Structure 1
Amino acid sequence: MAEQPTSSLIVFLDIEKFGERSDGVAADLRESMYRIVGEALTKAGIPGVRHVEDRGDGLLILLPDAGPVEVIGAFVRDLESLVRHRAASRTPAYQMRLRVAIEHGFVRNDGNGWISRAINTAARMVGAAALRAAMSDHPDAHVAVIISDDLYHEVVAQGHPSLDATRYREVVVQEKEIDARAWVHVPYVGSGSGARPRPADPPGNSVIGNQVMGDQHISGDFTGMTVQMPFPGAP
Protein backbone atom coordinates (compact mmCIF):
# COMPACT_ATOMS: atom_id res chain seq x y z
CA MET A 1 0.00 0.00 0.00
CA ALA A 2 1.26 3.45 -0.89
CA GLU A 3 2.27 5.76 1.93
CA GLN A 4 0.81 9.20 2.36
CA PRO A 5 2.92 11.91 0.71
CA THR A 6 5.60 13.48 2.88
CA SER A 7 7.68 16.60 2.30
CA SER A 8 11.38 16.09 1.64
CA LEU A 9 14.49 17.60 0.18
CA ILE A 10 15.59 15.56 -2.81
CA VAL A 11 19.22 15.17 -3.87
CA PHE A 12 20.18 13.48 -7.13
CA LEU A 13 23.84 12.77 -7.85
CA ASP A 14 25.33 11.56 -11.11
CA ILE A 15 28.91 10.62 -11.98
CA GLU A 16 30.01 12.39 -15.13
CA LYS A 17 30.88 10.12 -18.10
CA PHE A 18 30.28 6.99 -16.04
CA GLY A 19 29.28 4.96 -19.10
CA GLU A 20 32.67 5.54 -20.70
CA ARG A 21 34.57 3.83 -17.86
CA SER A 22 35.77 0.24 -17.65
CA ASP A 23 34.19 -2.04 -15.05
CA GLY A 24 37.19 -1.72 -12.75
CA VAL A 25 37.17 2.07 -12.89
CA ALA A 26 33.38 2.16 -12.49
CA ALA A 27 33.60 0.03 -9.35
CA ASP A 28 36.20 2.36 -7.85
CA LEU A 29 34.08 5.42 -8.70
CA ARG A 30 30.98 3.91 -7.09
CA GLU A 31 32.87 2.98 -3.92
CA SER A 32 34.23 6.52 -3.73
CA MET A 33 30.80 8.03 -4.36
CA TYR A 34 29.19 6.10 -1.51
CA ARG A 35 32.04 6.88 0.89
CA ILE A 36 32.24 10.57 0.01
CA VAL A 37 28.48 11.20 0.08
CA GLY A 38 28.14 9.51 3.45
CA GLU A 39 31.06 11.46 4.87
CA ALA A 40 29.76 14.76 3.48
CA LEU A 41 26.35 14.18 5.07
CA THR A 42 28.02 13.50 8.40
CA LYS A 43 30.41 16.46 8.21
CA ALA A 44 27.52 18.78 7.32
CA GLY A 45 25.42 17.49 10.23
CA ILE A 46 22.56 16.39 7.98
CA PRO A 47 20.02 14.35 10.01
CA GLY A 48 17.36 11.85 9.08
CA VAL A 49 18.37 10.22 5.80
CA ARG A 50 15.08 8.60 4.84
CA HIS A 51 16.08 6.74 1.72
CA VAL A 52 19.06 6.18 -0.54
CA GLU A 53 18.40 4.61 -3.91
CA ASP A 54 21.21 3.30 -6.07
CA ARG A 55 20.99 4.51 -9.67
CA GLY A 56 24.10 2.74 -10.97
CA ASP A 57 25.95 5.90 -12.00
CA GLY A 58 24.49 7.95 -9.17
CA LEU A 59 22.25 8.17 -6.12
CA LEU A 60 18.81 9.44 -5.18
CA ILE A 61 18.76 10.66 -1.59
CA LEU A 62 15.68 11.79 0.36
CA LEU A 63 16.30 14.11 3.32
CA PRO A 64 12.93 14.84 4.98
CA ASP A 65 14.44 16.26 8.20
CA ALA A 66 17.26 18.33 6.71
CA GLY A 67 17.24 22.08 6.36
CA PRO A 68 17.76 23.49 2.85
CA VAL A 69 20.50 25.89 3.99
CA GLU A 70 22.58 23.01 5.34
CA VAL A 71 22.07 20.87 2.24
CA ILE A 72 22.64 23.61 -0.35
CA GLY A 73 25.44 25.11 1.72
CA ALA A 74 27.46 22.84 4.02
CA PHE A 75 26.71 19.53 2.31
CA VAL A 76 27.60 20.82 -1.15
CA ARG A 77 30.80 22.46 0.12
CA ASP A 78 31.89 19.32 1.99
CA LEU A 79 31.01 17.13 -0.98
CA GLU A 80 33.10 19.28 -3.33
CA SER A 81 36.02 19.37 -0.90
CA LEU A 82 36.04 15.59 -0.47
CA VAL A 83 35.80 14.90 -4.22
CA ARG A 84 38.64 17.35 -4.82
CA HIS A 85 40.75 15.75 -2.09
CA ARG A 86 40.21 12.33 -3.70
CA ALA A 87 41.31 13.69 -7.07
CA ALA A 88 44.78 14.43 -5.73
CA SER A 89 45.45 10.70 -5.29
CA ARG A 90 43.93 9.43 -8.54
CA THR A 91 45.24 9.13 -12.08
CA PRO A 92 43.25 10.85 -14.86
CA ALA A 93 41.39 7.65 -15.72
CA TYR A 94 40.04 7.44 -12.17
CA GLN A 95 38.99 11.06 -11.75
CA MET A 96 35.42 11.59 -10.57
CA ARG A 97 33.22 14.61 -11.20
CA LEU A 98 29.69 14.85 -9.84
CA ARG A 99 26.58 16.58 -11.11
CA VAL A 100 24.15 17.33 -8.27
CA ALA A 101 20.49 18.37 -8.41
CA ILE A 102 18.57 19.60 -5.36
CA GLU A 103 14.79 19.92 -5.29
CA HIS A 104 12.09 20.02 -2.63
CA GLY A 105 8.61 18.56 -2.74
CA PHE A 106 6.22 15.83 -1.69
CA VAL A 107 7.27 12.20 -2.14
CA ARG A 108 5.60 8.91 -1.39
CA ASN A 109 6.44 5.23 -1.39
CA ASP A 110 4.17 3.03 -3.53
CA GLY A 111 5.52 -0.19 -2.08
CA ASN A 112 8.13 -0.60 -4.81
CA GLY A 113 10.00 2.67 -4.42
CA TRP A 114 9.69 6.41 -4.03
CA ILE A 115 7.75 8.42 -6.58
CA SER A 116 6.67 12.02 -7.14
CA ARG A 117 6.75 14.83 -9.65
CA ALA A 118 9.49 16.46 -7.57
CA ILE A 119 11.68 13.35 -7.90
CA ASN A 120 11.05 13.34 -11.65
CA THR A 121 12.03 17.01 -11.83
CA ALA A 122 15.25 16.40 -9.90
CA ALA A 123 16.10 13.52 -12.24
CA ARG A 124 15.66 15.78 -15.26
CA MET A 125 17.67 18.56 -13.62
CA VAL A 126 20.71 16.39 -12.91
CA GLY A 127 20.88 15.44 -16.58
CA ALA A 128 20.05 18.89 -17.91
CA ALA A 129 22.10 20.31 -20.77
CA ALA A 130 22.74 23.49 -18.76
CA LEU A 131 24.37 21.53 -15.92
CA ARG A 132 26.46 19.47 -18.34
CA ALA A 133 27.55 22.71 -20.01
CA ALA A 134 28.65 24.12 -16.65
CA MET A 135 30.90 21.11 -16.15
CA SER A 136 32.33 21.49 -19.64
CA ASP A 137 32.93 25.21 -19.10
CA HIS A 138 34.84 24.51 -15.86
CA PRO A 139 37.11 21.53 -16.56
CA ASP A 140 38.92 22.02 -13.23
CA ALA A 141 35.68 21.79 -11.21
CA HIS A 142 34.82 18.56 -9.44
CA VAL A 143 31.17 19.30 -8.62
CA ALA A 144 28.43 21.31 -10.31
CA VAL A 145 25.05 21.89 -8.67
CA ILE A 146 21.61 22.77 -9.99
CA ILE A 147 18.74 23.80 -7.71
CA SER A 148 15.12 24.50 -8.42
CA ASP A 149 13.82 28.02 -8.96
CA ASP A 150 11.80 27.85 -5.73
CA LEU A 151 14.83 26.84 -3.66
CA TYR A 152 16.85 29.68 -5.13
CA HIS A 153 14.28 32.38 -4.43
CA GLU A 154 13.02 31.03 -1.09
CA VAL A 155 16.40 30.02 0.37
CA VAL A 156 19.53 31.16 -1.51
CA ALA A 157 18.29 34.65 -2.41
CA GLN A 158 17.21 35.40 1.16
CA GLY A 159 20.63 36.60 2.26
CA HIS A 160 21.79 33.73 4.42
CA PRO A 161 25.48 34.33 5.21
CA SER A 162 26.55 30.82 4.15
CA LEU A 163 24.93 31.09 0.70
CA ASP A 164 26.20 33.47 -1.98
CA ALA A 165 23.35 34.15 -4.42
CA THR A 166 25.69 35.96 -6.80
CA ARG A 167 27.45 32.69 -7.64
CA TYR A 168 24.30 31.12 -9.10
CA ARG A 169 23.35 31.45 -12.74
CA GLU A 170 19.78 31.19 -13.96
CA VAL A 171 19.14 28.53 -16.62
CA VAL A 172 16.20 26.87 -18.32
CA VAL A 173 15.75 23.12 -18.01
CA GLN A 174 13.99 21.62 -21.01
CA GLU A 175 14.27 17.87 -20.62
CA LYS A 176 11.43 15.57 -21.71
CA GLU A 177 8.31 16.70 -19.84
CA ILE A 178 10.13 19.37 -17.81
CA ASP A 179 10.31 23.01 -18.89
CA ALA A 180 11.35 25.08 -15.90
CA ARG A 181 13.79 27.68 -14.59
CA ALA A 182 16.61 26.53 -12.35
CA TRP A 183 19.91 27.85 -11.00
CA VAL A 184 23.41 26.44 -11.54
CA HIS A 185 26.33 26.83 -9.17
CA VAL A 186 29.92 25.60 -9.50
CA PRO A 187 31.29 25.61 -5.91
CA TYR A 188 34.97 25.56 -6.91
CA VAL A 189 36.33 26.58 -10.28
CA GLY A 190 40.05 26.50 -9.56
CA SER A 191 42.77 29.11 -9.41
CA GLY A 192 43.04 29.17 -13.18
CA SER A 193 39.68 30.92 -13.44
CA GLY A 194 40.54 33.63 -10.94
CA ALA A 195 38.66 32.06 -8.07
CA ARG A 196 40.40 31.64 -4.75
CA PRO A 197 40.83 27.92 -4.02
CA ARG A 198 39.36 26.63 -0.75
CA PRO A 199 41.76 24.49 1.28
CA ALA A 200 41.05 20.79 0.94
CA ASP A 201 39.54 19.15 4.01
CA PRO A 202 41.33 16.04 5.26
CA PRO A 203 39.51 12.76 4.72
CA GLY A 204 37.57 11.49 7.70
CA ASN A 205 35.95 8.23 8.62
CA SER A 206 33.26 7.11 6.22
CA VAL A 207 29.81 6.44 7.62
CA ILE A 208 29.08 3.93 4.89
CA GLY A 209 29.80 0.31 5.57
CA ASN A 210 30.66 -2.36 3.07
CA GLN A 211 28.19 -2.76 0.25
CA VAL A 212 26.58 -6.19 0.14
CA MET A 213 25.36 -6.97 -3.34
CA GLY A 214 22.71 -9.68 -3.46
CA ASP A 215 19.99 -10.64 -5.88
CA GLN A 216 17.76 -7.72 -5.00
CA HIS A 217 19.39 -4.99 -2.93
CA ILE A 218 22.51 -3.23 -1.79
CA SER A 219 22.80 -2.31 1.88
CA GLY A 220 24.55 0.81 3.05
CA ASP A 221 24.85 2.53 6.41
CA PHE A 222 24.17 6.28 6.21
CA THR A 223 24.61 8.21 9.48
CA GLY A 224 23.86 5.13 11.54
CA MET A 225 20.74 4.20 9.58
CA THR A 226 20.57 1.13 7.37
CA VAL A 227 18.76 1.75 4.12
CA GLN A 228 17.83 -0.51 1.27
CA MET A 229 18.64 0.48 -2.28
CA PRO A 230 17.38 -1.20 -5.42
CA PHE A 231 20.03 -3.18 -7.25
CA PRO A 232 21.60 -1.09 -10.05
CA GLY A 233 19.44 -1.23 -13.11
CA ALA A 234 16.24 -2.02 -11.24
CA PRO A 235 13.28 0.17 -12.19
Structure 2
Amino acid sequence: MAYVTDPDRRVLVAVDMESYSGRDNVLQHRAQLAFREVMATACDELGFDRANWLIQQGGDGELAILPPGASERAVVTRLTPVLDRLLREHNRGLRHEARIRLRVGVHEGPVHLDGANGYPGDAVVTVCRLVDSPQLKAALRQFPGAAVALIVSDRLYHDIVRQYQDLRPEHFQQVTARLPEKHFEATAWIYVPGESISTTYEPGPPVSASDQPHDGSGGESVERRDDRSRPQSASGGQVFQDIRSRGIGAIGNGNSISVSGRPEDLDSWGSPR
Protein backbone atom coordinates (compact mmCIF):
# COMPACT_ATOMS: atom_id res chain seq x y z
CA MET A 1 0.00 0.00 0.00
CA ALA A 2 1.30 3.44 -0.93
CA TYR A 3 2.51 5.68 1.87
CA VAL A 4 0.10 8.51 2.68
CA THR A 5 1.93 11.82 2.73
CA ASP A 6 1.18 14.59 5.19
CA PRO A 7 -1.68 16.93 4.23
CA ASP A 8 -1.39 20.67 3.69
CA ARG A 9 -3.64 23.10 5.57
CA ARG A 10 -5.27 25.33 2.97
CA VAL A 11 -8.13 27.74 2.40
CA LEU A 12 -10.85 26.11 0.28
CA VAL A 13 -13.42 27.86 -1.89
CA ALA A 14 -16.34 26.04 -3.52
CA VAL A 15 -18.52 27.88 -6.02
CA ASP A 16 -21.73 26.61 -7.61
CA MET A 17 -24.08 28.21 -10.12
CA GLU A 18 -27.81 28.42 -9.44
CA SER A 19 -30.14 26.63 -11.90
CA TYR A 20 -27.38 25.58 -14.29
CA SER A 21 -28.94 22.28 -15.33
CA GLY A 22 -32.17 24.02 -16.34
CA ARG A 23 -30.42 25.94 -19.13
CA ASP A 24 -30.22 24.78 -22.71
CA ASN A 25 -26.87 23.98 -24.34
CA VAL A 26 -26.25 27.51 -25.60
CA LEU A 27 -27.00 29.13 -22.25
CA GLN A 28 -24.80 26.60 -20.42
CA HIS A 29 -21.94 27.42 -22.79
CA ARG A 30 -22.37 31.15 -22.26
CA ALA A 31 -22.70 30.72 -18.51
CA GLN A 32 -19.42 28.83 -18.30
CA LEU A 33 -17.59 31.55 -20.22
CA ALA A 34 -19.11 34.29 -18.07
CA PHE A 35 -18.32 32.39 -14.86
CA ARG A 36 -14.67 32.03 -15.79
CA GLU A 37 -14.41 35.70 -16.77
CA VAL A 38 -16.10 36.96 -13.61
CA MET A 39 -13.95 34.81 -11.32
CA ALA A 40 -10.78 35.97 -13.08
CA THR A 41 -11.81 39.63 -12.92
CA ALA A 42 -12.68 39.41 -9.23
CA CYS A 43 -9.34 37.81 -8.38
CA ASP A 44 -7.46 40.43 -10.41
CA GLU A 45 -9.25 43.25 -8.57
CA LEU A 46 -8.50 41.69 -5.19
CA GLY A 47 -4.90 40.76 -5.99
CA PHE A 48 -5.53 37.04 -5.53
CA ASP A 49 -3.01 34.72 -7.18
CA ARG A 50 -5.57 32.70 -9.14
CA ALA A 51 -2.87 31.30 -11.43
CA ASN A 52 -1.67 29.26 -8.45
CA TRP A 53 -5.10 28.09 -7.31
CA LEU A 54 -5.57 24.35 -7.62
CA ILE A 55 -8.93 24.18 -9.37
CA GLN A 56 -11.16 21.16 -9.79
CA GLN A 57 -13.66 22.30 -12.37
CA GLY A 58 -17.28 21.38 -12.89
CA GLY A 59 -19.60 22.68 -15.55
CA ASP A 60 -21.54 24.72 -13.04
CA GLY A 61 -18.72 25.80 -10.74
CA GLU A 62 -15.43 24.84 -9.19
CA LEU A 63 -13.58 23.70 -6.11
CA ALA A 64 -10.45 25.77 -5.51
CA ILE A 65 -7.59 25.05 -3.13
CA LEU A 66 -5.73 28.26 -2.50
CA PRO A 67 -1.93 28.51 -2.28
CA PRO A 68 -0.04 28.69 1.01
CA GLY A 69 -0.24 32.11 2.60
CA ALA A 70 -3.58 33.02 1.03
CA SER A 71 -5.40 35.49 3.26
CA GLU A 72 -8.40 33.86 4.93
CA ARG A 73 -9.59 37.31 5.92
CA ALA A 74 -9.55 38.63 2.35
CA VAL A 75 -11.22 35.55 0.90
CA VAL A 76 -14.00 35.46 3.50
CA THR A 77 -14.79 39.17 3.58
CA ARG A 78 -13.89 40.61 0.17
CA LEU A 79 -14.46 37.98 -2.51
CA THR A 80 -18.24 37.70 -2.24
CA PRO A 81 -19.06 41.45 -2.38
CA VAL A 82 -16.88 41.85 -5.48
CA LEU A 83 -18.47 38.84 -7.18
CA ASP A 84 -21.91 40.21 -6.36
CA ARG A 85 -21.12 43.57 -7.98
CA LEU A 86 -19.59 42.02 -11.09
CA LEU A 87 -22.47 39.62 -11.58
CA ARG A 88 -25.12 42.29 -11.13
CA GLU A 89 -23.36 44.26 -13.86
CA HIS A 90 -23.22 41.17 -16.06
CA ASN A 91 -26.85 40.24 -15.46
CA ARG A 92 -28.26 43.68 -16.21
CA GLY A 93 -30.62 43.47 -19.17
CA LEU A 94 -30.44 39.67 -19.44
CA ARG A 95 -33.47 37.41 -19.38
CA HIS A 96 -34.06 35.60 -16.11
CA GLU A 97 -32.90 32.23 -17.45
CA ALA A 98 -29.62 33.72 -18.71
CA ARG A 99 -28.60 35.40 -15.47
CA ILE A 100 -25.84 33.98 -13.31
CA ARG A 101 -26.16 33.71 -9.54
CA LEU A 102 -23.61 31.94 -7.40
CA ARG A 103 -23.41 30.09 -4.11
CA VAL A 104 -19.97 30.39 -2.50
CA GLY A 105 -18.61 28.30 0.36
CA VAL A 106 -15.38 28.97 2.26
CA HIS A 107 -13.68 26.65 4.72
CA GLU A 108 -10.14 25.70 5.71
CA GLY A 109 -8.38 22.56 6.82
CA PRO A 110 -5.99 19.75 5.94
CA VAL A 111 -6.14 18.47 2.37
CA HIS A 112 -4.01 15.95 0.47
CA LEU A 113 -2.73 17.45 -2.76
CA ASP A 114 -1.50 14.17 -4.27
CA GLY A 115 -4.77 12.26 -4.45
CA ALA A 116 -5.18 9.77 -7.28
CA ASN A 117 -8.58 11.13 -8.31
CA GLY A 118 -9.03 14.52 -6.69
CA TYR A 119 -8.11 16.05 -3.35
CA PRO A 120 -8.82 13.79 -0.35
CA GLY A 121 -9.70 15.41 2.95
CA ASP A 122 -12.64 16.04 5.23
CA ALA A 123 -12.24 19.79 4.69
CA VAL A 124 -12.88 19.30 0.96
CA VAL A 125 -15.99 17.26 1.65
CA THR A 126 -17.24 19.86 4.13
CA VAL A 127 -16.91 22.89 1.85
CA CYS A 128 -18.64 21.05 -0.99
CA ARG A 129 -21.50 19.99 1.31
CA LEU A 130 -21.88 23.53 2.64
CA VAL A 131 -22.21 25.07 -0.80
CA ASP A 132 -24.73 22.40 -1.81
CA SER A 133 -26.84 22.70 1.35
CA PRO A 134 -30.58 23.41 1.02
CA GLN A 135 -30.18 26.19 3.57
CA LEU A 136 -27.84 28.15 1.29
CA LYS A 137 -30.01 27.50 -1.76
CA ALA A 138 -33.05 28.77 0.13
CA ALA A 139 -31.21 31.93 1.19
CA LEU A 140 -30.27 32.79 -2.39
CA ARG A 141 -33.84 32.19 -3.56
CA GLN A 142 -35.18 34.43 -0.84
CA PHE A 143 -33.26 37.45 -2.18
CA PRO A 144 -33.93 37.61 -5.94
CA GLY A 145 -32.04 40.89 -6.25
CA ALA A 146 -28.79 39.36 -4.97
CA ALA A 147 -26.28 37.66 -7.23
CA VAL A 148 -24.27 35.77 -4.59
CA ALA A 149 -24.87 34.01 -1.28
CA LEU A 150 -21.94 33.04 0.94
CA ILE A 151 -21.69 30.29 3.51
CA VAL A 152 -18.69 29.97 5.83
CA SER A 153 -17.84 27.32 8.36
CA ASP A 154 -18.41 28.03 12.03
CA ARG A 155 -14.67 28.16 12.64
CA LEU A 156 -14.08 30.83 9.99
CA TYR A 157 -17.01 32.90 11.21
CA HIS A 158 -15.60 33.06 14.74
CA ASP A 159 -11.95 33.39 13.69
CA ILE A 160 -12.43 35.94 10.90
CA VAL A 161 -15.86 37.58 10.77
CA ARG A 162 -16.31 38.18 14.50
CA GLN A 163 -12.69 39.08 15.16
CA TYR A 164 -12.12 41.60 12.36
CA GLN A 165 -15.65 42.73 11.41
CA ASP A 166 -14.78 43.75 7.86
CA LEU A 167 -18.30 42.49 7.24
CA ARG A 168 -20.83 43.14 10.00
CA PRO A 169 -21.26 39.94 12.04
CA GLU A 170 -24.92 40.70 12.70
CA HIS A 171 -25.57 40.45 8.95
CA PHE A 172 -24.68 36.75 9.06
CA GLN A 173 -27.30 34.14 9.90
CA GLN A 174 -26.34 31.01 11.79
CA VAL A 175 -27.79 27.83 10.27
CA THR A 176 -27.42 24.11 10.59
CA ALA A 177 -26.46 22.97 7.11
CA ARG A 178 -27.99 19.55 6.54
CA LEU A 179 -27.78 17.00 3.76
CA PRO A 180 -29.44 13.95 5.32
CA GLU A 181 -28.85 11.76 2.29
CA LYS A 182 -25.11 12.47 2.65
CA HIS A 183 -25.18 12.06 6.45
CA PHE A 184 -23.88 15.61 6.74
CA GLU A 185 -24.74 18.22 9.36
CA ALA A 186 -22.68 21.23 10.41
CA THR A 187 -23.08 24.65 11.97
CA ALA A 188 -22.39 27.39 9.43
CA TRP A 189 -23.09 31.07 8.75
CA ILE A 190 -24.78 32.60 5.69
CA TYR A 191 -24.23 36.09 4.30
CA VAL A 192 -25.95 37.75 1.34
CA PRO A 193 -24.25 41.00 0.19
CA GLY A 194 -26.50 44.01 0.57
CA GLU A 195 -29.05 42.15 2.69
CA SER A 196 -29.44 42.10 6.46
CA ILE A 197 -30.17 38.40 6.35
CA SER A 198 -30.29 37.88 10.11
CA THR A 199 -33.43 40.05 10.37
CA THR A 200 -35.31 38.53 7.44
CA TYR A 201 -34.19 34.94 6.88
CA GLU A 202 -35.71 32.05 8.78
CA PRO A 203 -33.41 29.02 8.48
CA GLY A 204 -36.15 26.44 9.00
CA PRO A 205 -36.70 23.45 6.73
CA PRO A 206 -37.01 24.65 3.13
CA VAL A 207 -40.10 23.75 1.15
CA SER A 208 -37.95 21.95 -1.39
CA ALA A 209 -34.30 21.04 -1.59
CA SER A 210 -34.35 21.39 -5.38
CA ASP A 211 -32.30 24.23 -6.85
CA GLN A 212 -35.06 26.25 -8.47
CA PRO A 213 -34.98 30.04 -8.92
CA HIS A 214 -37.53 32.20 -7.16
CA ASP A 215 -39.87 33.37 -9.90
CA GLY A 216 -43.02 34.04 -7.94
CA SER A 217 -44.73 31.04 -9.52
CA GLY A 218 -45.65 29.40 -6.24
CA GLY A 219 -44.46 28.06 -2.92
CA GLU A 220 -43.03 29.78 0.09
CA SER A 221 -39.40 29.86 1.11
CA VAL A 222 -40.24 28.99 4.70
CA GLU A 223 -42.84 26.48 5.80
CA ARG A 224 -45.73 27.79 7.87
CA ARG A 225 -45.59 26.64 11.45
CA ASP A 226 -48.43 25.13 13.42
CA ASP A 227 -50.49 27.68 15.34
CA ARG A 228 -49.47 25.97 18.57
CA SER A 229 -45.97 27.37 18.07
CA ARG A 230 -47.25 30.94 17.94
CA PRO A 231 -45.95 33.12 20.79
CA GLN A 232 -48.29 34.30 23.52
CA SER A 233 -47.87 37.59 25.33
CA ALA A 234 -47.17 37.00 28.99
CA SER A 235 -47.83 40.61 29.96
CA GLY A 236 -51.15 41.19 28.19
CA GLY A 237 -51.52 43.23 25.05
CA GLN A 238 -51.06 41.82 21.57
CA VAL A 239 -48.27 39.93 19.87
CA PHE A 240 -47.73 40.84 16.21
CA GLN A 241 -46.32 37.89 14.27
CA ASP A 242 -44.43 37.42 11.02
CA ILE A 243 -43.55 41.10 10.73
CA ARG A 244 -40.42 41.92 8.77
CA SER A 245 -38.57 44.80 10.41
CA ARG A 246 -35.04 46.07 9.96
CA GLY A 247 -35.05 47.77 13.30
CA ILE A 248 -36.02 46.71 16.77
CA GLY A 249 -39.44 48.01 17.64
CA ALA A 250 -42.50 47.57 19.79
CA ILE A 251 -45.96 49.00 19.47
CA GLY A 252 -46.64 50.42 22.91
CA ASN A 253 -48.94 49.33 25.73
CA GLY A 254 -47.14 46.06 26.26
CA ASN A 255 -47.48 44.96 22.65
CA SER A 256 -44.48 43.36 21.01
CA ILE A 257 -43.08 42.13 17.73
CA SER A 258 -41.86 38.63 16.92
CA VAL A 259 -40.15 38.61 13.52
CA SER A 260 -40.22 34.83 13.22
CA GLY A 261 -43.33 33.71 15.06
CA ARG A 262 -41.27 31.78 17.63
CA PRO A 263 -41.70 32.31 21.38
CA GLU A 264 -37.96 32.15 21.90
CA ASP A 265 -37.58 35.34 19.85
CA LEU A 266 -39.24 37.28 22.70
CA ASP A 267 -37.18 38.08 25.76
CA SER A 268 -38.52 38.04 29.32
CA TRP A 269 -39.97 41.51 28.81
CA GLY A 270 -41.84 40.47 25.69
CA SER A 271 -39.49 42.44 23.40
CA PRO A 272 -37.79 40.99 20.35
CA ARG A 273 -34.26 39.82 20.91
Shorter-chain TM-score range: 0.7 to 0.9
Map of 1:162 onto structure 2: 166
- Provide the rounded CA distance (Å) in 1 between the counterparts of 2:45 and 2:27: 26
* 1:185 and 2:187 matched: no
Query: Which 5+ residue runs of structure 1 have no aligned equivalent?
Result: 195-235
* 1:54 and 2:60 matched: no
- After the TM superposition, which residues 63-142 of structure 1 pair with which residues of structure 2 at under 5 Å, given as runs? 63-64=66-67, 65-108=69-112, 109-142=114-147
**Counting strand residues as a fraction of each chain, which structure ranks higher?**
1
Task: Return the letter of the residue paired with 1:133.
Answer: A
- Provide the rounded CA distance (Å) in 2 between the counterparts of 1:50 and 1:111: 18
* 1:148 and 2:130 matched: no
CA distance 1:4–1:143, shift in 2 (3 Å): same
Would you say the 8 A contact 1:25–1:94 is kept in 2?
yes
Task: Return the letter of the residue paired with 1:124.
Answer: R
Comparing both chains, which one has the higher relative contact order based on Cα–Cα distances under 8 Å and sequence gaps of 6 or more?
1
* 1:4 and 2:11 matched: no
Would you say the 8 A contact 1:140–1:189 is kept in 2?
no
1:189-218 C-alpha deviation (Å, 9 max, x unpaired): 49xx99xxxxxxxxxxxxxxxxxxxxxxxx
1:163-210 C-alpha deviation (Å, 9 max, x unpaired): 2111100000111222110000001349xx99xxxxxxxxxxxxxxxx
- Provide the rounded CA distance (Å) in 1 between the counterparts of 2:25 and 2:193: 29
CA RMSD of aligned residues (A): 2.0
Secondary structure in structure 2 of the residue aligned to 1:179: strand
C-alpha displacement at 1:139, in angstroms? Answer: 1.1
Map of 1:217 onto structure 2: none
C-alpha displacement at 1:26, in angstroms? Answer: 0.5
TM-score, normalised to structure 2, is 0.66
Give aligned pairs, total.
191
Would you say the 8 A contact 1:142–1:188 is kept in 2?
no
C-alpha displacement at 1:41, in angstroms? Answer: 1.3
- Provide the rounded CA distance (Å) in 2 between the counterparts of 1:184 and 1:8: 21
In terms of mean alpha carbon deviation, does 178-187 or 42-51 score higher? 42-51
Secondary structure in structure 2 of the residue aligned to 1:59: strand
Task: Return the letter of the residue paired with 2:54.
Answer: H
- Provide the rounded CA distance (Å) in 1 between the counterparts of 2:96 and 2:156: 34
Give me the identity figure in percent: 28
Query: Which 5+ residue runs of structure 2 have no aligned equivalent?
Result: 201-273
Would you say the 8 A contact 1:143–1:188 is kept in 2?
no
